[in-house]
Structure 1
Amino acid sequence: MPSQPGRLLYAQSGGVTAVINATAAGVIEAARAKGVQVYAARNGILGALREDLIDTSRESKAAIAALRHTPGGAFGSCRYKLKSLEANRAEYERLIEVLRAHDIRWFLYNGGNDSADTALKISQLGKAMGYDIRCIGVPKTVDNDLAVTDCCPGFGSVAKYTAVSVLEASLDVASMADTSTKVFILEVMGRHAGWIAAAAGLAGDGPDAPPHVILFPENAFDEGAFLAKVKATVERVGWCTVVASEGVRDAAGHFLAEGGTRDAFGHAQLGGAAAVLAQLVKDRLDYKVHWALPDYLQRSARHLASATDVLQAYAVGRAAVEFALAGMNAVMPVIVRTSESPYRWKIEPAELRKIANREKKLPKGFIRRDGFGITAAARRYLSPLVRGEAPPPYGKDGLPAYASLRNMAVARRLPAFP
């Protein structure tokens, strides 16, 4: 039985990462050490609205510890954006009703910009409705685009996966270029911010090292300059590796990969920039081209996670609990870089109002003057984030031994929510 009155509710939001469950482990283990019972919302904020809650106290110590090396979202996540308080006050009032019904005094929302905004609004509504609830936003995003924090848990592992994939695929292309593929194009995530594309630059250093061309969403796509760069590289090196962000746009601001559909946040559904570029290279330069769209593989590759990223993901989870129990409200535990060499960092609280709905793009100083690569400053920033290995344990079948939770439901106390 909990030794402290009140419960803590934890929820995961948006696209998951290879290390988001490490954050969950940090939350649950820190709360257990303080005698606080933790509920998890099944499938993110929707679970809270539906009063579909999971009692994590029914999970063993070993199962929770195993979350540190398990990808995916252990309790489910969702892409669901709450409207403004004015547009849909009923949803926010329902959330307060659910929190009140289960004596939840601390709400930790693990997500990105939209999630930080939601946590901020719930903290404000709690005050307005006379319910004492402490809301903490917990950072998570592969895009590394959250304001204030030096980096985002989840990004370091995607960065490592991307750099390693570019390095390995380039060795393959180089070995076959004489009689086969001349150009390989890898499309990476990144709608508006080119952090993941930039991370690909860690695969090599120098004009002849891959990736030879990086296309950032911060720069308008110049077809002529792109084709000239690819052609010159093939003629000089014999082959060319291209990394393109899914958010690459033309001069008019149109996504190269936009298909017309949109997700729950209103974002255009992307994926296909590499195919467009491959066809362009084939038609205009007559080179044999291969392209790849790793998609979910980027954010689920726990087997190749960065040890730095795992440590930071766990640390923000523990810090979120400490901040909540200390009485803080409407804050987020952020990562502060205290030393470049040797790399050192710490966790500090930052106000959600300074983070919510803001987007941190790749600094201009991180993009090479020709627009197709990263600078030394970018390399200094990125390199520590991909350092270290934290492989999962493997079973006799040769596959990772990931966590398997019971996820037992808490009895409902309220009518169903429409």
Structure 2
Amino acid sequence: MSIKHAFYAQSGGVTAVINASACAVIETARRYPDQIGKVYAGHNGILGALREELIDTSQESHEAIGALHRTPGGAFGSCRYKLKSFEESEAEYRRLIEVFQAHNIGYFFYNGGNDSMDTALKVSQLSEKMGYPITCIGIPKTIDNDLAVTDNCPGFGSAAKYLAVSTKEASHDIASMCDNSTKVFVMEVMGRHAGWLAAAAGLAARQNGDPPHIIVFPETPLNKEKFLAKVKKTVDEEGYCVIVASEGAKYADGSFVSASTTVIDSFGHHQLGGVAPALCTMIKREHGFKYHYAVADYLQRSARHIASRVDVEQAYAVGKAAVELAVTGKNAVMSSIIRESNAPYRWSIGEVQLEEVANYEKKMPMEFIDDDGFGITSVCREYLEPLIEGEEYPPYLNGLPRFAKLKKVLVEKKLNDSFDV
């Protein structure tokens, strides 16, 4: 029986450290030549499998693969593509199995969020039914930190560090100019339903009165009158007000503070954004304060120059563990992070069943949000602080970081038909 190859794919919004997981999968698989042949990577995520566009990572040097460890973004390409249910489109799943079978692929490593874990689970189940079983292992990834069961998600720690540092730095700027210039600064961060990133910016505050003075979470409905009163009180007492707002901020009726009607992907998500200017307009009308705002957007998820060392280590560890789980016979599981203690911070790698993770969303627990709904508690701080610890800088050349450059050689197609996606 010939040795099976592996397929690795990156899914959804990328992070500063997702390539560290890719690096770990490829490097670890190369240490098991008797069990895993080549590692093929999906060109643009799962679409690469559906289109039979497989990147042969064996064509990349050890140095190039090693450089992924310090490179942000998705080196092989990612996508936001939701596979439908079996009932809606069994053809998509059958196509995946056909491509895997044609290329002698027996391992599927899917690096993504909760929808990705659902896909990996379904592929595992259908492959059994089709008589071509595939070992499917999930690798956690998301800056949103909203995967269930695992203590935290690789990608989050580095985004959290970037936001906390940026909030602290911008606050010094505002404090310098508030006497006769800007009184209010609002930073908009990602987070559709979960406020983990907004909470992370709260780490910038070390004592009472420190910015950010107000955090707007998706988990707590925005009370406009209460919010505006707190802005006024903060400016009166501190001279300025720094606000961090999640893009998913909502009112009590469930409507977003700012969202368009445009559907942006196959998940049915509406385009979010515009919370910062919406809040600034609200403040200007009520109080007349001069304001500035910033939208962290892709900067928060690509800031490899200030990545958390803990995050980089955990991203590599879950990728390495995924391969080790596969070669020891595990299937339909996801490698996970287990917190053993806060002080000192200790963690280890575990595993969870994909069905425990698939399509679940972990929001901020209410004990992490303070009583007035605009700040984080000490319990939240104890959870967050270890995740941003340490620096793991990439090498620099002429003042700029050096990142990996891959050849991305595609494998010759074996199926005659094309598949429209």
- The runs of 5 or more residues in structure 1 that have no matched partner are none
Q: Which residue of 2 aligns with 1:30?
A: 28
Q: Shift of the alpha carbon at 1:257? A: 1.8
Q: Shift of the alpha carbon at 1:204? A: 1.1
Matches within 5 A, 1:280-291: 280-291=282-293
Give the distance between the partners of 1:45 and 1:9, measured in 2 at CA. 10
String of CA shifts for 1:211-268, please: whole Å, max 9, x gaps. 0000000010100000000100000000000000000011111111211112221111
Matches within 5 A, 1:1-40: 5-35=3-33, 36=36, 37-40=38-41
Report the AA paired with residue 368 of structure 1: D
String of CA shifts for 1:277-335, please: whole Å, max 9, x gaps. 00011111100010000100010010010000000000000000001111111100000
Q: State the percentage of identical aligned residues.
A: 61
Q: Which residue of 2 aligns with 1:412?
A: 413
SS at match of 1:186: strand
Q: Which residue of 2 aligns with 1:70?
A: 71
Q: Which residue of 1 aligns with 2:320?
A: 318
Q: Does 1:204 align with 2:209?
A: no
Q: Shift of the alpha carbon at 1:138? A: 0.7
Report the AA paired with residue 14 of structure 2: V
Q: Which residue of 2 aligns with 1:387?
A: 389
Q: For the Cα contact (< 8 Å) 1:161–1:301, is it kept in 2?
A: yes
Q: Which residue of 2 aligns with 1:373?
A: 375
Matches within 5 A, 1:114-263: 114-263=115-264
Give the distance between the partners of 2:263 and 2:189, measured in 1 at CA. 19
Q: Which residue of 2 aligns with 1:113?
A: 114
Compute the TM-score of the two structures, normalised by the length of structure 1: 0.98
String of CA shifts for 1:48-69, please: whole Å, max 9, x gaps. 0000000000000010010011
Give the distance between the partners of 1:262 and 1:327, measured in 2 at CA. 40
Q: Which residue of 2 aligns with 1:293?
A: 295
Compute the TM-score of the two structures, normalised by the length of structure 2: 0.98
Matches within 5 A, 1:318-357: 318-357=320-359
Report the AA paired with residue 27 of structure 1: V
SS at match of 1:80: coil
Q: For the Cα contact (< 8 Å) 1:79–1:263, is it kept in 2?
A: no
SS at match of 1:196: helix
String of CA shifts for 1:54-106, please: whole Å, max 9, x gaps. 00000000100100110010000000000001110001000000000000000
Give the distance between the partners of 2:344 and 2:2, measured in 1 at CA. 40
Give the distance between the partners of 2:189 and 2:53, measured in 1 at CA. 34
| Structure 1 runs, 4 residues or longer, greater than 2 Å off | none
Q: For the Cα contact (< 8 Å) 1:246–1:273, is it kept in 2?
A: yes
Q: Shift of the alpha carbon at 1:364? A: 0.5
SS at match of 2:210: coil
User: For this pair of structures, how many residues does the alignment match?
Assistant: 415
RMSD of the TM alignment (CA)? 0.9
Give the distance between the partners of 1:120 and 1:278, measured in 2 at CA. 44
String of CA shifts for 1:28-48, please: whole Å, max 9, x gaps. 000011113100010001000
Determine which of 272, 275, 288 is the counterpart of 1:273. Answer: 275
